[in-house]
Amino acid sequence: MDATQKPYLSIVVPVYNEEENVRPLFEKIREVCETIGRTYEVLFVDDGSVDNTFEVLSELRNHEPCLAVIRFQENAGQTAAMAAGFEFAQGERIISMDGDLQNDPADIPRLLQKLDEDYDLVCGWRRERQDKFWTRRVPSVVANWIISKVTGIAIHDNGCSLKAYRSEIIKQVPLYGEMHRFIPAMSTVVGARIAEIVVKHHPRQFGTSKYGLGRVWRVVLDILAFKLILSIFARQPNSKNRSSTQRPYQNQINPKFNVYRAAGLLSLPFFLIGSLLINVTLITGISCIGICVSLMLVSLITGWSLAKAQREAADLSPLASFFIYRCARRPIRIFGPLGVMLLLLGSILTFKFPHIGPILICIGVVVFFFGLFGEIIAYANAKRVIDYTVEIFLNAKDEVKRAENSY
Ligand code: UDP
Ligand code: MG
């Protein structure tokens, strides 16, 4: 491939401490790509590995011009590594896959074929997943079932990294936090048409998995946050009237979005019931009025956040900076558990202290929604913040760039 020419295909592989895997994986990818008969580049993103991953990759790079390597200054997470890969990828078509040999490059041609059937995103489905049963496969089946119900996108395996994308679509999707597990849902925001095919999966031979059971709780909170984000920002493409050039645009506020109106309306009956009941049972009456106040706050906050999300084009406001930097863009992960704790505490205390309990419940609800509100602000500003620092970029033109924060 001529150094100035852009490749047709980019393979993006995030790696963190995969020294034994990168060489055999690269060789398999190259073998498969050679059979496709199109130009390609393989982009390894070393997510701040502390083993010899980068050394092995740079050594390989010396005699493999189709290989590009990005090295982060420090570990920024799989999502950030994927985001960097998508950012730097030059191909019209992009494939992402894990760097631990669990995904099989032999599936790449089938993914590309499916993409050519006028899809924007083709997801791999590890139907025969080779991971531990109770700690990996069961939580994954449950999470995928919930995600498909909540988002309405019937994908069996959101967490499978082996996916194929049209470059112009995936480059528009803001990725942060641990959002790589929600790429299908998030892609609908830019109107992506999504398909799924069964792919192979192998047990991990070398190295260890980077995740434990802790992700289950995080994924539950993520699902909630993304449901809200989708209901605000997403527009389902009109499937009857599809054309490759006309796609819905990004960050469009759904005109039907009415969480804040719904919350405002919902608060009214609670107010009425509360006022009627307050003379009969004080606790229930106060609780109803408390719920009414919380719902009104939700309504106000969400309405305000929408207005703000649209307005904040130039600078990050102090509040947006707070959510993005202090909360590492995942406010629900901080305010969610806090809200739930206050809610539980309030429920317990209600029996003993009927005046304090309901107030705590209300504060809990408000805190929880404050976290969700933060998610909206973080998402709306996502494309303007970069979560990783590239230390070295060994690109496909045989030049070494040392970058500061300029990426
Ligand atoms: N990974 C990464 N940064 C991280 C954690 C993981 O780049 O902070 C990479 C990892 O090297 C692998 C892929 O993401 O290539 C998937 O990780 P892993 O195999 O640990 O996840 P699992 O297959 O167990 O879900
Ligand atoms: Mg793995």
Which residue, among 176, 191, 120, 129, has the nearest Cα to 157 in the 3D structure?
A: 129
> Residue 179's pLDDT is what?
87
Which residue, among 383, 378, 304, has the nearest Cα to 334 in the 3D structure?
A: 378
For the record, the structure tokens of 119 come out as: 């899809």
Rounded to the nearest whole angstrom, what is the distance from the C-alpha of residue 15 to the centroid of ligand 1? 7
Q: Which CA distances in Å does 321 have to 331, 336, 386? A: 11, 19, 13
Q: Is the pTM of this model over 0.75?
A: yes
Cβ < 5 A residues, ion ligand 2? 98, 100, 102
Ligand closest to Cα of 12 equals: 1
Angle between helices 53-61 and 22-36 (to 10 degrees): 40
Q: Atom 16 (ligand 1): residue with closest C-alpha?
A: 98
- In terms of Cβ atoms closer than 10 Å to its own Cβ (0-12, 13-18, 19+), residue 240 is exposed
Ligand closest to Cα of 98 equals: 1
Rounded to the nearest whole angstrom, what is the distance from the C-alpha of residue 12 to the centroid of ligand 1? 13
Angle between helices 356-380 and 282-311 (to 10 degrees): 10
> Residue 262's pLDDT is what?
64
Q: Which CA distances in Å does 290 have to 285, 298, 320, 361? A: 9, 12, 28, 8
Torsion of CA 137, 151, 171, 179, to 10 degrees: -50
**Can you state the percent helix, strand and coil of the chain, rounding each to 5?**
50, 10, 35
- In terms of Cβ atoms closer than 10 Å to its own Cβ (0-12, 13-18, 19+), residue 216 is middle
Rounded to the nearest whole angstrom, what is the distance from the C-alpha of residue 317 to the centroid of ligand 1? 33
Q: Atom 8 (ligand 1): residue with closest C-alpha?
A: 77
Q: Is the CB of 85 under 6 A from ligand 1?
A: no
Q: Is the CB of 98 under 6 A from ligand 1?
A: yes
Output the CA torsion sign for 135, 136, 137, 142: positive
CB 182 within 8 A of CB 163: no
Q: Which ranges of the chain have pLDDT less than 50?
A: 236-257, 313-314, 398-407
Taking the mean position of all CA atoms in its chain, how far away is CA 303?
A: 24
> Residue 311's pLDDT is what?
59
Count other Cβ atoms within 10 Å, centred on residue 109.
13
Rounded to the nearest whole angstrom, what is the distance from the C-alpha of residue 207 to the centroid of ligand 2? 9
> Residue 9's pLDDT is what?
98
DSSP state of 104: -
> Residue 255's pLDDT is what?
44
Mutation choice for ligand 1 from 11, 98, 131, 161, CB with most ligand atoms inside 8 A = 98
- Strands lying side by side in the sheet with 121-125: 194-198, 121-125, 163-166, 93-96, 9-15, 40-46, 67-72, 390-394, 400-402
CA atoms within 13 A on the CB side of 100: 18
DSSP state of 136: I
Q: Which CATH number applies to 9-250? A: 3.90.550.10
Which residue, among 80, 322, 95, has the nearest Cα to 178 in the 3D structure?
A: 80
> Residue 212's pLDDT is what?
67
Ramachandran region of residue 109, left (φ > 0), alpha (ψ -120 to 50) or beta?
alpha
pLDDT tens per residue across span 309-319: 655 544 677 78
Mutation choice for ligand 1 from 208, 210, 387, CB with most ligand atoms inside 8 A = 210
Rounded to the nearest whole angstrom, what is the distance from the C-alpha of residue 144 to the centroid of ligand 1? 19
